[in-house]
Chains A and B, each alone.
Chain A
Amino acid sequence: MVNTQTTPHGRLKQSPFLPDMAEIVRKERLNPTETLYVLRLTDGAELGHAPGQFVEVSVFGVGEAPFSISSSPTRGGEFELCIRRVGDVTTAMERLGIGAKLGVRGPLGRGFPLDVMRGNDVLIIAGGLGIVPLRSLIGTVIDERADFAEVTILYGCKSPAEMLFKDEIAAWEAREDIDFRVTTDIADPSWKGNVGPVTTLFRRLTVNPKTTVPVMVGPPVMFKHVVKQVLAVGIPEDRIILSLERRMKCGIGECGHCQINGVYVCQDGPVFTYAELKRLEEAML
């Protein structure tokens, strides 16, 4: 597997526990629990991330937590995090206004293997909040569209109300050069689209197993079913790309929380091939 981890910038390498400072440039409430934060490093530097990487965000006095970066590095200076209010740090973040300072360590971890995807068909499969890190990849694929062959995006949510980035989704849907399909587990009266798990979308696709790189982010139950489907059409194990969620503290391969067998998800991942994960007990749980 090609390692797409970017070289940590000097300061992080020197003092990997010391956060850089960032400020909130903009906040946008996407639905009752998710908010999009647009951040900028206060020293004016670019974050320099790759799609699929994450940052550790500090709210000083409350704590630090890992979040995947949701914006594409092709979009320049600012970067975006889409965060569900669920724990201490995320609840504290919601109370912060524009201009508030946060600590940021990163970018951390190994991102999506863009070099494997270039020249090939890209099949992006997002379940629920899995769309958040995949949006970074989608942005890159759109901005460098000519580098990729067929691009298909499948997005499954629990309900239409939980769907994120609705305006952007409309734009993806409108594009001729992307096949975008969305489904919801439970419909509401306004919903005219597909109903059912994301596997129902896959079933209707025709994919070329020789040229397709499936990239999926979602809950473990989605991995279980979708991996089975992509294997069944003959896509090799080392070309199936997944990103794992784990509890992370240090983010730099020390503290132990995200470890699966000999692998640290924070540094060896969070993006892996299925071939890598298959040998790891507990990886797909």
Chain B
Amino acid sequence: MGPTASGDRGVRRASSTCLRQMLIRRLVLLFVAGATCATAWGAPQDGSPAQTPSEDESNELLELRVTHVRGASVVVDRGANDLVRIGDRVFFRPREGGLQPGVVTQTDERTAIVELQTAGFEAAPGLRGFVRIPNSRVAAAPVRARRKPRANAVGEGVADTKWSNPDEEYRQGQPLLARVRPVRPEERPSEYSGRWYTTVDQIRSTEDDRTDAFYRVGGGLRIENFSGSGDRVQIDGELNYRNTDVPDDDDQRATRFRLDRLSYSWGGTRFDPTRVELGRFLHSGMPEFGVLDGAEWTTRTAGGDRYGVALGYLPEPDLDYETGRDFALSAFYRWVQDESERLSASVGFQKSWHDSNADRDLAVLNLSYLPDDGWSVISSAWIDIYTGSDGLKDRGPELTQALVNVSRQLGADTLVGLRLSHIALPQLQRQEYVVPQPLDFVDAHVDRASVFARTDLSPRTRVRAEAGMWSDEEDSGGNAEAGVELSELLFEGSLLGLAAFGVNGQFSDAIGGRGYLRDWGPSGGWSLEYELANNDLVGFTSQNDDLPQHRIRVQWDHVSMEGWSVRLSLDAQVWDSEHSLLGSLHVNRSF
């Protein structure tokens, strides 16, 4: 901290001895800084103002901020180390708009005093601004004296992702905030966080008074530094009750407890590249391999790559996570281009046995490219490898899932994208897919391709559109939807949306429209939605193949900074002489 920025409060609290030492030290620093500047850039020794950059000279914009106000002058958080010089013109950006000029009248290592040029303009601490640093001055400066401008908008400054605070002990003479030894996870107090939630879903339809009730109470707990060695314990579980009342079929009524997670882990921080997790948890290295009852070991190389292995039982991914029948071994390697991880690729392989019989050989490939210029490419491929003992599938590899998501942000207002997917049913002994008979495994697949775009025509008007096509082993079709959203049209905080859509499905076609009105504020909001669609049943042989359907949805949300989140919604569907009502209540408390 320089003498002009330290503030009077800190000085008063120092003892007189410390005060003297501080003043002497700062005077020395001031002298050294001044001498360095004068030598490096040939600044006038008598303190006369530096040349103001001419309009046509190329400059570097340096963001700064007001830290103190002293009458008609202000103190800013940039100084000689940032190449700010006496006489430089500074422009402040007040909240009410416009630019307010000022001139640097005094500099310190890390601060400067700026005299405001507009009479009556009152600057407040925190006010942002900028100063133009001539490129010639930047080029002449020693490398260590250059400071990267602070990020000012989305995307700016993100490129600098390297840790600029290396893990080294503080040494005498270093700036106070530049190098500090971070506290290790095992040195921190044990803390816990988590959430509790309750969900009530009730469906009632008029045909024979069918009802479906599903009530859930669940929660999760995460304990950091559980035993004082930087370790973690995580628990997630849910107790639920279901009651499906169908007059012409057997009712379903059950209360179940499901353990989603119970794991103990350590490592995996920037201080410890190796991570181990035991218990029930989701694979951290490659979540495509699912939830595991076992152990996982991963480590990180100096270049940021990660690899690891895991073994254990795979719970069946259904309502009770039954385990003990599917044993799996897996390994993965994730390569990253550099620390920023803009380009990364990973490959993994999992072999599983069902009731001790060889079942699945699954290879997963992931590739993502996330540069800072608005592009985003995320893709994955699942390849099942059949060894010839699977009966219905030919020996060799089969692409059973491929997902590609490409999007491009064009400026701040427009987003365009493309999604591709291919899904085929693998042949498994493990209970994972719902199919009526084994033969359906053979060529069952569905491919989809869709494009989407949205753009803000004005700060209050957004238009969006999406169109897609699908194709499976028997049929093909598609869908399209376009809409507009108008903000603040009816009242403050409101969002009015209108959309039209068309669908060409496997068993039905439809055209329809939807309108919605939403209000949202810091503590929640509400929405009202109405949709009308006319469905045409394509396989029906009678004349009466139209099915108009109305849907009305009302939703209320409340959120609080204390961690509460409440949602209440009612969804009514009306078609022909029947109707149904879906009610839902969700209460969540994070702690």
Q: Check if A and B associate.
A: no
Write the residues of chain B forming the contact surface with A, with a CB cutoff of 8 angstroms: none
